[in-house]
Structure 1
Amino acid sequence: MQFWRAAGFAALFVSSVACRAAAQDVTLTSRDGSVELSGTLLGFDGEFYRVETEYGELTLDGSGVLCDGPGCPDLQDFVAEIAVSGSATMGAVLMPALVEGFGLRNGYRTDREAESDAYFTYLLTDEETGKLAARIRFRVTTTDEGFADLLANEADMVMALREIRTDERNRAREAGMGDLTGANRSRVLALDAIVPIVAPNNPVRAISAQDLAEVYAGRIANWSALGGPDAPITLHAPDPGTGLGQAVGDRLLDPAGLEMSAEATVHMRGAEISRAVADDPFAIGLASYAEIEDAQAVVLTGSCGRTLRASRRSIKTEDYPLTAPMFLYLPARRLPKVGREFLAYTRGLAAQNVIRRAGFVDQAPEEVPVDDQGDRFVNAIAAAGAEVTLGELQRMVATLSPMARLTISFRFEAGSIRLDAQSRSNVQQLARALEQGQYDTRRLLFVGFSDGDGASGANRDIALRRAEAVRRAVTIAAETANLERVTLDVDAFGEALPMACDDSAWGRQANRRVEVWLR
């Protein structure tokens, strides 16, 4: 009888920190006594053993074997151990709120034991039996440190405010942790955004993305260049070692070919930036949307006059160009049952409510009626001309006016046909909704839009191909959905409905998108 299976990876499963710290010899025997295997116990998740043997690392179903030796775990009072490391923005508020919400919903009492602000543990105790079910250990530092802990086999989940870097991804794959950009290895937990902020008494209320990048590169150093007073600009920014700081580079500075000024005062926490800026009338900061506090948010604008304001809806649809998804990265290892239940909980509506109450942007789809989108259609009329005809505008209005827009949108990486990270997560989210029958008997229309660079006919063709690609990705992901109960169509209107000005890379990126409309 074969009762084990080879684990296809070398550094697998960290969920039992205690077992990892004190690995000991064990002998596992099949219940009929016909097969025996000895080795060093590397981990146990309450259901499966992970053992280093002469045949390599093997994972064995605990229900089919008997364990003998000093390393054997207590099967009756097994306590799951889960290690979480990474972003302080996520670890300070968001993840604790989700752990507490999960406990409340699943019959666990949650007790927090804190060693410091950066190190704390949640104890989950079954309220019926009084037995300790899990210890969830948090190390709250930076995104960089989170990935370092993962690669050192000291974390089961990484909290990240940026996408994994290529070198981190390659090292994780070499260590047997799988492709951390895969559908089951990464997920967007919640949404945030990078928001320029000033003091409430600062008269500057709008800035272009290009000017904002030049301010932080030190090229614009006086408020008078932005329509403000004749005074030097004081810069506050997130530390470049934090996920938010790296997102600033990825989203704001790199597209402009600029680097952060050495004159900027950097902070480890976004709340520190907000407090510093709120007290200084000549300061500007880049803060997390969830941590603006008493400062004043500044609207992004462009030479064409369109403005993009950070709001819950514009961040959720990714219409606001400086969005910053909040990721959980999960290596290819089996979590204990409690950990798997927690991950399933984070995708449900109850968790979306917790995320919203914590001040972050949730991912629960919303339907936005046409009546609430008047400014978008005004932009369309203003942009009409020789390239976008009145007939095309009329066709767009006739098609979309009986429908509502879903807050799920899809955008592509710059210069690529690959969906960006938030959009890849949206594919899985929409696919799950289809599998659950949420849109049965309804019509979903995938609508492609483009920037205005190039001929309008070619732009519409490109937008249509992108809409078809998104529809195809969603239908492939919705493996168990009965697609005969829902209508999935595609259309495209090219550059007819711009979100931002086309005079910058940020604006063009915002305009290239696939929206989902529903009837």
Structure 2
Amino acid sequence: MSPKHHKHMHYNVALVDKLWNLKRLCEAQLKMHIPLNMVLKDEEYRAELLEKALQTNNAELTRLVWDIRQMEDSIVTATHSGDEFKARKKTRRSIKLGYVAAFACSLLLIMSGYLLRSFLPLNAGEVFVLEAVANTQVKSAVNKREQMTYVPAGQLVRATKPLFRVHGSNTVGERLAPRLVEAYFMARGATNIKTRQGNTPVEKAVSGELNGRIEFIEIHAHGSSTAFTDLLQDSAELGMSSRKIKDQERELLLAKSGDLGEPGAEHIIGLDGLAIITDTTNPATKLSIPELVKIFSGEVTNWSEIGGPNLPIKVYARDENSGTWDSFKSMVLDPAKATLVMTAKRIESSTELSDAVAKEPGAIGFIGLPYVRRAKLVPISATKTSKPILPAHFTVSTEDYPLARRLYFYLPQKNINADAEEFVKFSATERGQSIVEDIGLVSQNIKTGQAFNSDFYPQVMRDLTTRSQRLSLNFRFKDGSDELDTKGINDLERLVKYVEVNAPKRVQLFGFSDSEGDKAQNEELSLRRAKVVEQHLIERGIFPLVARGMGEEAPLASSKTEEGRRMNRRVEVWIL
């Protein structure tokens, strides 16, 4: 590499580093989740974010915005001529952002896993990043994940079998699992990391040069149920699922794999949330899941049938290959044994769907949270009588939003594959969780927010939380007990780290129950659950300021269904 080229590549690494800082500072100032992949690759989203950053009147953010714009200008000057702009008929800003997006895509994996140079001493890490970038070829700058190719390093021994095989959910396996595996290989010091498609689009292999060998990990994403059948048939060492393991599946695997419903076997790696959107003029203030079923199955065809204007309903949906469609189908249509109306307009692009719904009167659709753009967000309730909740990163994190769901890895506890176990642990780290965020899912990294207005809670709780902020996690429990579920156990460690970093903040715990049974007993049970969390924190050196039971107050859903009862049985965490 020539000295001039080496300097140029370093300059671009610095730009992407500033974009990462822009994301973090804007999240702190604007109190909103900002997906890194949108900042890097979506021209319009990024331009809007820079303008919002300036409007905060924060001196540090203002300097950062102007630094970014100057660096973008310099990149365009250094890499394009005026004739190129005319021939391609693009604006100067479009070319500037397009170049940065292409470059940023090749760095996204490095940033997500390591926040640039944080994984090595500064000089060595900087050299590593520059070498990686210099040998990277961008395959696609817009819709496909870039694969990393390096200069060949001589003859290596190629492994004949994978380190492990991870099979199951398409929602997890399409984008998240390959990205996590790539970052995991990097964490182990691998080079020449490549992702290749197998016999079908949902089969991939990620390889890397590691300890003098070309090692690889197999990913098959044929659906959540295949995670458990393949574990049973010894064709996978790790399962991935967008739903909790069923009792029948757990029992079939009990002798072979141990209890996959227990901590150590069941691992939540992130959450998925869907936004329901309508056109900007639609007066709808809320919709229930039963109403969504009727709309998207074609049972209801006019908004007047559900209390709206006399206007035909026009249904939009993502295409069959979309993970977003898979999520909507499994959360809304499948439980009601309903199918999508034949007249639904199917669109491949999330951005195009959102913009089409926003401008067509009577339109309704669903989309991933990062792609709402100008469309109108509709609060969703589990039933017609339960609390409607606006979809947001925060309400998905707390699982208050009814169209939120957990994403899982299942690791057998008999004859454990050590590489698979190490990979699962890596996925749960802050670095692993940053990748979850960057592809548009919801991580388990803790943030602060306010999910509802104060009227939702009983007066005693409002008095205690006047100056408090709610944290983006709820502790939930195993069915019929006050024992924390697997996510709750892992969230304890995240909460301890959060409090340590944010000392001297004090924790407040509020327990809630469902409304089944005696009211006094429910209040006692809700207090016991708050005390369980309190005791776990005390054992870890954290002494909560408050641990109170609110009983069946502030229900998130109807307690007439098992899912509603599960949502209502929780311990909320506030910080003062």
Q: Normalized against structure 1, the TM-score is what? A: 0.65
Structure 1 residue 220 and structure 2 residue 282: aligned? no
Question: What percent of counterpart residues are identical?
Answer: 23
Q: CA deviation at 1:136?
A: 0.6
Structure 1 residue 178 and structure 2 residue 258: aligned? yes
Structure 1 residue 467 and structure 2 residue 520: aligned? no
Mapped partners of 2:162, 2:384: distance in 1: 56
1:447 aligned partner, one-letter code: F
Q: CA deviation at 1:518?
A: 3.5
Structure 1 residue 425 and structure 2 residue 514: aligned? no
Q: Is the 8 A contact 1:199 1:295 kept in 2?
A: yes
Mapped partners of 1:409, 1:437: distance in 2: 15
2:338 aligned partner, one-letter code: M
Deviations 1:481-502 (A, max 9, x none): 8545644852122355455688
Mapped partners of 1:335, 1:157: distance in 2: 9
Q: Is the 8 A contact 1:471 1:488 kept in 2?
A: no
Q: Is the 8 A contact 1:237 1:273 kept in 2?
A: yes
Question: Which moves more between the two structures, 324-333 or 212-221?
Answer: 212-221
1:428 aligned partner, one-letter code: N
Pairwise CA RMSD: 4.5
User: Could you tell me which residue of structure 1 aligns to residue 104 of structure 2?
Assistant: none
1:397 aligned partner, one-letter code: R
Mapped partners of 1:161, 1:261: distance in 2: 19
User: Could you tell me which residue of structure 1 aligns to residue 169 of structure 2?
Assistant: 87
Q: Secondary structure at the match of 2:510?
A: strand
1:430 aligned partner, one-letter code: L
Counterpart selection for 2:434 from 335, 347, 353: 353
Unaligned runs of 5+ in 2: 1-155
Deviations 1:150-169 (A, max 9, x none): 22211112221111122222
Q: Is the 8 A contact 1:84 1:159 kept in 2?
A: yes
Counterpart selection for 1:320 from 398, 401, 420: 401
Mapped partners of 1:504, 1:166: distance in 2: 18
Q: CA deviation at 1:292?
A: 6.6
Counterpart selection for 2:424 from 335, 343, 346: 343
Mapped partners of 1:450, 1:313: distance in 2: 21
1:125 aligned partner, one-letter code: E
User: Could you tell me which residue of structure 1 aligns to residue 208 of structure 2?
Assistant: 124
User: Could you tell me which residue of structure 1 aligns to residue 222 of structure 2?
Assistant: 141
2:391 aligned partner, one-letter code: A
Q: CA deviation at 1:183?
A: 0.8
Q: Within 5 A, what are the aligned runs for 1:57-136? A: 81-109=163-191, 110-115=193-198, 116-126=200-210, 131-132=212-213, 134-136=215-217
Mapped partners of 1:230, 1:489: distance in 2: 50
Mapped partners of 2:508, 2:296: distance in 1: 40
Q: CA deviation at 1:246?
A: 8.2
The alignment of Structure 1 onto Structure 2 pairs a total of residues equal to 413
User: Could you tell me which residue of structure 2 aligns to residue 408 of structure 1?
Assistant: 473
Question: Which moves more between the two structures, 433-442 or 81-90?
Answer: 433-442
Change beyond 3 A, Cα 1:97–1:502? same
Q: CA deviation at 1:141?
A: 1.9
Q: Is the 8 A contact 1:446 1:514 kept in 2?
A: yes
Q: CA deviation at 1:403?
A: 4.1
Change beyond 3 A, Cα 1:265–1:419? farther
User: Could you tell me which residue of structure 2 aligns to residue 396 of structure 1?
Assistant: 461
User: Could you tell me which residue of structure 1 aligns to residue 444 of structure 2?
Assistant: 363
Counterpart selection for 2:378 from 279, 295, 298: 298
Deviations 1:91-142 (A, max 9, x none): 121112212222333322221222342222111213xx5x235311111221
Counterpart selection for 2:456 from 379, 382, 397: 379
Deviations 1:191-246 (A, max 9, x none): 00244345677665631233223435654343332314432564858989x99758
Change beyond 3 A, Cα 1:434–1:168? same
Mapped partners of 2:298, 2:470: distance in 1: 40
Mapped partners of 1:356, 1:362: distance in 2: 5
Q: Is the 8 A contact 2:205 2:219 kept in 1?
A: yes
Change beyond 3 A, Cα 1:304–1:166? closer
Q: CA deviation at 1:298?
A: 3.2
User: Could you tell me which residue of structure 2 aligns to residue 26 of structure 1?
Assistant: none
Structure 1 residue 190 and structure 2 residue 270: aligned? yes
Q: Secondary structure at the match of 2:409?
A: strand
Q: CA deviation at 1:316?
A: 0.4
Unaligned runs of 5+ in 1: 1-73, 381-387, 476-480
Change beyond 3 A, Cα 1:485–1:333? same
Q: Is the 8 A contact 1:303 1:503 kept in 2?
A: no
Q: CA deviation at 1:419?
A: 7.5
Q: CA deviation at 1:402?
A: 4.9
Deviations 1:13-64 (A, max 9, x none): xxxxxxxxxxxxxxxxxxxxxxxxxxxxxxxxxxxxxxxxxxxxxxxxxxxx
Q: Is the 8 A contact 1:403 1:517 kept in 2?
A: yes
Question: Which moves more between the two structures, 231-240 or 505-514?
Answer: 231-240
1:89 aligned partner, one-letter code: T
Q: Secondary structure at the match of 1:146?
A: helix
Q: Is the 8 A contact 2:164 2:419 kept in 1?
A: no
Change beyond 3 A, Cα 1:400–1:376? same
Mapped partners of 1:464, 1:283: distance in 2: 45
Change beyond 3 A, Cα 1:122–1:419? farther
Q: Is the 8 A contact 1:82 1:339 kept in 2?
A: yes
Mapped partners of 2:324, 2:222: distance in 1: 10
Q: Secondary structure at the match of 1:308?
A: coil
Mapped partners of 1:505, 1:270: distance in 2: 34
User: Could you tell me which residue of structure 2 aligns to residue 445 of structure 1?
Assistant: 508
Counterpart selection for 2:337 from 256, 259, 263: 259
Mapped partners of 1:79, 1:253: distance in 2: 37
Q: CA deviation at 1:398?
A: 3.7
User: Could you tell me which residue of structure 1 aligns to residue 547 of structure 2?
Assistant: 490
Change beyond 3 A, Cα 1:308–1:224? same
Q: Secondary structure at the match of 2:437?
A: helix
1:143 aligned partner, one-letter code: S
User: Could you tell me which residue of structure 2 aligns to residue 513 of structure 1?
Assistant: 570
Q: Secondary structure at the match of 1:406?
A: strand
